[in-house]
Structure 1
Amino acid sequence: MTTEKTSLTAGLDALIRAKPITAGDRAAAALFALDALANALAGRQSAPGRILTDWAGAEPRDSAGRAFVYGALTHILEVDDLHRASVVHPGCVVVPAALAVANRIGAGGHAFLDAVLWGFEAACRIGAAVGPAHYRIWHNTATCGPYGAAAAAGRLLGLDGAGMVAALGNAGSQSAGLWQFIETGAMTKHLHAGHAAAAGVNAADLAARGFSGPPHILEGDKGFFRAACPDAVPAAVLADPDGPWALTQTSIKPWPSCRHTHPAIDAALELAPGVNGRAIRAIAVDTYPAALDVCDRPDPQSPYEAKFSLHHCVAAALGDGRVNFDSFEAEARARLAPLRALVTPATGKAYAAAYPRAWGSAVRVTLADGTTLAAARDHALGDPENPLDRAALTEKAKMLLGHARIGPALAGRLIVGLLAFADNGPLPDLSPFVGLA
């Protein structure tokens, strides 16, 4: 009979505990926390955000309920972070879970950031092991996120090895989240992030009280990999134990659309000045199969569908020379429809071979006079190979807080306070901003 010590979750816990945390790691984690929480505040200014904040204030919420609200809000605007190898958005799950527990127990900035690092590591390592077939039906953020939330909450609660294995086991037993919502643009995707954050908090809180969980939740005969991951790579969970923290290998989005559209947006923005109103005959986009699975939407009928449309995102970048929140509204969708109809996405062999290690795309524009303009990206802006620096991330946070209708003075104070986490500053209480009592 196997024991907890031989389970993948026990190995993962031991691996994470052994990784050193430097001041640079905490500084990076502070920037990711800033990005996630600015996304949460901006997410209020949307139809699902207003529903969530109304629901949040309807009755008192415990730590898990608060994590649910923060997590769901963070994932609304499609401009939160993404870890490529796992196809997980870790920040919208891990940061809300860590903040909810840290606020409850009065933890300081360093404890919070260390928990964020642990949570990213757990979610991303498990996400990297699920295999590509999982992503065709399951939303990796929803299914792998509970493990990250449990690891972050467990770190803050001081769980020992057995406690963490129990927390991860019960978090994994709550893994869920299907892509079916995308056919109608339903609000379900936001629920995925909220549920994952809350599930991890509940699992860690119960483990702290001695509530047991299945140690072989990943590799067991009736576990996660067997149930939902037909081409899982279990060895990926414990691979490269001495490598950098997964958080430092995570991408941050500059534009509010599905990350699969971003390398094509990058390339199209490079070409936009050369197009500059000239008549276009055709627009070809080469990308990788996962991008086509999720973002092959030639005629989006809502802002949400437009954010998941390669056709629309490339048209916006070429036609307007920019991509922002307004790019997906009804006026822009109608105005860009003729240009969008010229976009033809297809699989590019080089990009298919590189995915998911690299998410790349190429755009070729054929003008009416026969001239061809082309640009390509192996790595999108915001990837670790092409990162947004501290100044750019601060500007992004200002943009998000402006979208949240938070005045410049208060926004500046929030940004300073959130970045002070890296210096072990106190954690602000953001509850009043999201309708929580």
Structure 2
Amino acid sequence: MNQPAIQLSQTLLQQLVVLLERDIDDAARARARLHLLDWLGCVAYGSRSEVADKLRQYLSIWGSSGSSWSMGEPDRSWQDALLLNAALGNVAEMDDLHRTSILHPGPVVVPAAVTVAELVGATPVALLDAIVIGYEAMIRIGRALGPDHYALYHNTSTCGGFGAAAATAHLLGLDRNAFVSALANAGSRTGGLWQLRHEAVDTKQLHNAGAAHSGVLAALLAQADVRGPASLLEGSQGFFAATSPMAQPLAVVDNAGDSWQIFQCSFKPWPACRHAHAAIDAVRALGDLDPSAVESVRIRTYRDALLFCDKPEPRNAAEARFSLQHCAAVSLLFGRPEIRHFEGEYLHRTDVVAMRGKIFVAIDEQMDRAYPSHFGAFAAVLDKAGHEREIRVRDAWGDPEQPMSETDINAKARALMCVADLHERDIDAVMDFTTGLTQAGAQLAPWLRSLRALGAGK
């Protein structure tokens, strides 16, 4: 990997753009392909959701026609396509994650890169490189934010525009000055407040869609010489000053020679908030348990996991995915939590409700100190005979320390497409094309056609 020639006199965004010029090798492209496939499974599932129906209703009235693809909507303009694709990638809460920045790059960067790759007729390699670069920009800025930011702001939303802008700027071949303007203007319009967590709303999906759109638009405008403030990050009225006085600005460009940040991202095997995954893994690691013999369950984990996921009585699927109690209950009852366990009758089944009532959650100070570098959990199950089993899990399955295999990721994507009730032949076509994107001679157009077939349905 070539070492970037960064000058300390440059602003942080200028230094970041130089850093993004590092060589991208085949290993990074292969990793980007896995994140692309992971997103495809997530958005296929999301395309059959209630929020997808709402967005399609909106587009039927207010949308415009064009050539860019979207899942099941092949004749939409790029703005319409991006709205759908970026909004739907996190519906199942199975989108990828970077821990120390506490954000999800995939549902913002990938749809932005795919949309622009079609607009400019990019090669598969250029698409994969754009994903790597978009992840890098989004994560590096996100990891510089302090915990004060995450307390109020949805990091995926506030940092997503940077990632979408970087991916688009790469595909457009912008020079350094225009690249900086793309990032700066995307960041100057950032936002995304966590108040959405307190009501049953669809705002989180709009956060992702808005971040992707602002990033793509900022880069397209930068190509037309619409300039932005290079000091946007560290300026006295800039991003860090406004949204995170506890930020560590130099984290944006620290360790410039490290491998690409995409390798530090986690994949999510379970259809739940990532803050609940370690608890799921801990319960499952206790081994075979007779649910009828369970007297009580103690879950201890880090503070943010309780802040986001202490919901003993979830009222709907979205709340169930953010409920430590529900996640632990279905893991105890059914072993491997599946999407169906977070929907419909499972929310109100007598056995599930009873098991949730036996689960007690608390903060573990040791795990709280290790967070966000490690998303850990402790689980202890006491049976009615007075015997107790306990286990401590430092990292969740899918983290770099406990990685999902390529086979696991492929199986997850296929399973999500199957749950969405898609034709097996269409799923096979998408899987085959996606697998071959890193091979010599691969073409993007057939792959995009296969995506249209995937979205077209049942």
TM normalised by structure 2 equals 0.91
Tell me the distance in 2 between the aligned counterparts of 1:73 and 1:111. 24
> Would the aligned equivalents of 1:53 and 1:434 in 2 still touch at CA under 8 Å?
no
Q: 1:30 aligns with which of 29, 33, 37?
A: 33
1:11 maps onto 2:22 in alignment: no
1:79 maps onto 2:94 in alignment: yes
1:237 maps onto 2:252 in alignment: yes
Q: How does 1:221-300 map to 2 (within 5 A)?
A: 221-271=236-286, 273=288, 275-300=289-314
Q: 2:24 aligns with which of 21, 26, 30?
A: 21
Tell me the distance in 1 between the aligned counterparts of 2:402 and 2:297. 25
Query: What does residue 405 of structure 1 align with?
Result: 421
When the two chains are superposed, the root-mean-square deviation of aligned CA atoms in Å is 1.8
Q: Give the CA deviation at 1:345.
A: 1.3
Query: What does residue 107 of structure 1 align with?
Result: 122
- Deviations 1:6-39, CA, capped at 9 Å, x for gaps: 211111111111x221111111110100111221
Q: 1:201 aligns with which of 201, 208, 216?
A: 216
Tell me the distance in 2 between the aligned counterparts of 1:367 and 1:264. 18
Tell me the distance in 1 between the aligned counterparts of 2:200 and 2:11. 38
Q: Secondary structure in 2 aligned to 1:247?
A: helix
Q: Which amino acid is 1:426 matched to?
A: Q
Q: How does 1:294-333 map to 2 (within 5 A)?
A: 294-333=308-347
Q: Give the CA deviation at 1:56.
A: 4.2
Q: Give the CA deviation at 1:217.
A: 1.2
> Would the aligned equivalents of 2:426 and 2:454 in 1 still touch at CA under 8 Å?
no
Tell me the distance in 1 between the aligned counterparts of 2:424 and 2:33. 20
Tell me the distance in 2 between the aligned counterparts of 1:342 and 1:72. 35
Q: Secondary structure in 1 aligned to 2:55?
A: helix
Query: What is the percentage of aligned positions where both structures have the same residue?
Result: 38
Q: Secondary structure in 2 aligned to 1:283?
A: strand
1:387 maps onto 2:403 in alignment: yes
Q: Which amino acid is 1:47 matched to?
A: E
> Would the aligned equivalents of 1:134 and 1:228 in 2 still touch at CA under 8 Å?
yes
- Deviations 1:266-298, CA, capped at 9 Å, x for gaps: 11112251x223422221111111111111111
Q: Which amino acid is 2:90 matched to?
A: H
Greater shift after overlay, 331-340 or 144-153? 331-340
Query: What does residue 443 of structure 2 align with?
Result: 426
Q: Secondary structure in 1 aligned to 2:20?
A: helix
> Would the aligned equivalents of 1:83 and 1:250 in 2 still touch at CA under 8 Å?
yes
Q: Which amino acid is 2:340 matched to?
A: D
1:191 maps onto 2:191 in alignment: no
> Would the aligned equivalents of 1:272 and 1:317 in 2 still touch at CA under 8 Å?
no
Query: What does residue 48 of structure 1 align with?
Result: 51
- Say if 1:313 and 1:169 are closer, same or farther in 2 by CA, change over 3 A: same
Q: Secondary structure in 2 aligned to 1:74?
A: coil
Q: Give the CA deviation at 1:63.
A: 2.7
Q: Which amino acid is 1:46 matched to?
A: S
Unaligned runs of 5+ in 2: 1-6, 66-75
- Deviations 1:107-149, CA, capped at 9 Å, x for gaps: 1110000000000000011110111111111000000000000
> Would the aligned equivalents of 1:94 and 1:120 in 2 still touch at CA under 8 Å?
yes
Q: 2:367 aligns with which of 336, 341, 351?
A: 351
Query: What does residue 141 of structure 1 align with?
Result: 156
Q: Give the CA deviation at 1:433.
A: 5.1
Tell me the distance in 1 between the aligned counterparts of 2:155 and 2:177. 26
Tell me the distance in 2 between the aligned counterparts of 1:223 and 1:416. 45
Unaligned runs of 5+ in 1: none
Tell me the distance in 2 between the aligned counterparts of 1:419 and 1:26. 11
> Would the aligned equivalents of 2:327 and 2:337 in 1 still touch at CA under 8 Å?
yes
Q: Give the CA deviation at 1:67.
A: 2.1
- Which structure has more RCO (C-alpha within 8 Å, separation ≥ 6)? 1
Q: Give the CA deviation at 1:371.
A: 0.6
Q: Which amino acid is 1:330 matched to?
A: G
Tell me the distance in 2 between the aligned counterparts of 1:340 and 1:272. 19
Tell me the distance in 2 between the aligned counterparts of 1:55 and 1:95. 23
Query: What does residue 151 of structure 1 align with?
Result: 166
Q: Which amino acid is 2:91 matched to?
A: I
TM normalised by structure 1 equals 0.95
- Say if 1:233 and 1:144 are closer, same or farther in 2 by CA, change over 3 A: same
Query: What does residue 59 of structure 1 align with?
Result: 64
Tell me the distance in 1 between the aligned counterparts of 2:153 and 2:319. 18
Q: Give the CA deviation at 1:434.
A: 5.0
- After TM superposition, the runs of 4+ consecutive aligned structure 1 residues lying more than 6 A away are none
